[in-house]
Amino acid sequence: MRLLHTADWHLGRTIRGRSRAAEFEAVLNEVTGIAVEEGVDVFLVAGDIWDTMSPPPEADRLLYSALRRLVEAKIEVVLVAGNHDNPRRLSAFGQFADLLGVHAQANVRRWDNGGTLRIERGGEVMYLAALPWVPEGRALNAEEILGPEFESFLGYEKVVAAIYEQATRGFQNGAINVFATHAFVDGAKVATVDGSERRIHIGQTYAVKPAHLPGRAQYVALGHVHEPQEIVEAPNRASYYSGSLLQLDFGECGQEKIVRLVDLEPGRPARHRAVPLTSGKQLAEVRGTFDEVVAQASKFGDAYLRATVRLDRPEPGLAQRVREALPNCVDVRVETRRDAEEPAPALLSTLTPTDLYVRYYQQAHGSVPSPETLAVFREVLEEATTQTS
């Protein structure tokens, strides 16, 4: 059987308030086209289908359009909920989608109560243990999944390890066995700036050790981290993040986006390869004086740009000047000398929200905010802007 592994679509995501719907539509057409042309049996999305718990209607339209093409091609589809997805929304969708060969795994369930899917194609059988994002604390009833003996578990990692172990109980000798989940595996490479990964769910609190990934699985399909990569310390021979479909923020500059095709036979190691995606705009950064920034930008075509302009002192209206010169510039930053004069209060109205926040932070803490702090601020600002636009 042939499986296509993708994840982290984040449908509905914008970039600094600009819609990316056309890009998402193009890349979804590309991905579903790959699935049809390559004769894929199972199409797996390992979480973060949507970008928010309440996505805009356009995001739903993009999803349903992609699913329609896959259903028409008689490809089995498995949708696994990520931390950005609303489990109730996905569960409601799954009530009728299952009739079309679209399996929506919205909640963590026992292997013998829907947690492990049995998919039969051309005489072969795949057992797919599909686990959504495991929430922390009371959001998950560990006793219901693991039994009363696990009620006293306190640590997130231990609970997740036990859930992973029980999920593999549905695996069968003589069949194809695949494990899929949306999780942060400790040691995975993540973007350190700009909110490409939502930092609140990336860290030791939610980390799963590679050793807890099931060694019995022929292939482990992961979602949550946006850079495609292998988990080399996993006990099986093939554990991969497929990454996001588009460069979602500037922490992903330069990343090649892919889907992964996996060929599977019972009792044999998985054979897999990355298929590069070509749809969607690139993201790029330019630095220098105003003239240098404008000159550099011509090298990047229609890429979304972040411009960092070096000045001796703040210049009113600079951000607007940059955007007028570079229509694809979605983020303007200013670098000034430490001894530059402070802008007069009358000029505050000309500064960008980010510049105002940096100014406030310097006054309150006596230092500039870290890249991680700025990333969180920009993420909140973008979400607030999207909700009010």
In 3-state terms the chain splits into helix, strand, coil percentages (rounded to 5) of 35, 25, 40
Q: Are residues 157 and 288 in the same domain?
A: no
Q: Are residues 183 and 287 in the same domain?
A: no
Q: Are residues 83 and 197 in the same domain?
A: yes
Count of residues in the chain: 389
Q: Are residues 127 and 263 in the same domain?
A: yes
Q: Are residues 324 and 267 in the same domain?
A: no
Q: Are residues 202 and 76 in the same domain?
A: yes
Q: At what angle do helices 318-325 and 290-297 cross, to 10 degrees?
A: 20
At 89, the pLDDT band (50, 70, 90 cuts) reads: very high
Q: Are residues 112 and 200 in the same domain?
A: yes
Instruction: State the chain's mean pLDDT as an integer.
Output: 86
Residue 78, strand partner residues: 44, 103
Tell me the pLDDT tens digit for each residue of 325-363.
Answer: 999 999 998 888 653 445 445 455 556 787 788 777 665
Q: Which of 276, 301, 335 is at the close of a domain?
A: 276
Q: Which residue has the higher pLDDT, 74 or 374?
A: 74
Q: Are residues 214 and 164 in the same domain?
A: yes
Q: Which of 253, 276, 299 is at the close of a domain?
A: 276
Q: Are residues 265 and 162 in the same domain?
A: yes
What's the confidence (pLDDT) of residue 346? 45
Cα–Cα distance for residue pair 342/325, rounded to 1 Å: 26
Q: Which of 247, 276, 305 is at the close of a domain?
A: 276
Domain interval for residue 172 = 2-276
Tell me the pLDDT tens digit for each residue of 288-311.
Answer: 999 999 999 889 999 999 999 998
Residue 263, strand partner residues: 2, 271
What's the confidence (pLDDT) of residue 389? 47
Tell me the pLDDT tens digit for each residue of 119-161.
Answer: 999 899 999 999 999 877 544 555 566 665 555 555 778 888 8
Q: Are residues 270 and 343 in the same domain?
A: no
CATH code where residue 104 lies: 3.60.21.10
366 Cβ neighbours under 8 A, 6+ residues apart: none
What's the confidence (pLDDT) of residue 387? 54
Q: Are residues 31 and 174 in the same domain?
A: yes
User: Exposed, middle or buried, 81 (CB in 10 Å: 0-12/13-18/19+)?
Assistant: buried
Domain count, the chain: 2
Asked if the model's pLDDT at residue 247 lies above 70, the reply is yes
Q: Are residues 127 and 159 in the same domain?
A: yes
pLDDT, mean of residues 115-119:
95
